[in-house]
Amino acid sequence: MKNELLQATIDQLKRKSREEKVNIWRRIALDLESPTRNRRVVNLAKIDRFTEANETIVVPGKVLGTGTLSHKVTVAALGYSDQALGKLKEASAEAVSLLELAERNPKGKDIRIIG
């Protein structure tokens, strides 16, 4: 793997999993280790369809801006398109990095993986 930032994120998620003794961070790290062509890509329309208001979700890949978001959610992902970030902001939703979410919620309570 050549992307040093991605490798650092994977390593930190695995460390968080060991420290907190929870499997969600390890699961996300393993998903991120997969080849780029197998990485998940999720549109806002799918997030809107399968989530409820004030829910926290993780996308172990990239969030794209196709569709609209009708409720407030917290989305943690590896990357976001510019259009997705704009639409998340319009919906008063929050876009955070995976490591930021791991720091906020180290036990991984009430987090769903989508993709």
Read off the pLDDT of residues 3-30 as tens digits, 9 standing for 90 and up.
899 999 999 999 999 999 999 999 999 9
Contact 108, 22 (CB under 8 A): yes
| Residues in Cβ contact with 26 at an 8 Å cutoff, skipping those fewer than 6 apart | 13, 14, 17, 18
Distance CA 92, CA 88 (A): 6
Read off the pLDDT of residues 71-109 as tens digits, 9 standing for 90 and up.
999 999 999 999 999 999 999 999 999 999 999 999 999
1: which 2 tokens? 């793997």
List of domains in the chain = 4-113 (3.100.10.10)
- pLDDT band for 2, please (50, 70, 90 cuts): low
- pLDDT band for 115, please (50, 70, 90 cuts): confident
CA nearest neighbour of 56 among 83, 24, 87: 24
Q: What is the pLDDT of residue 1?
A: 47
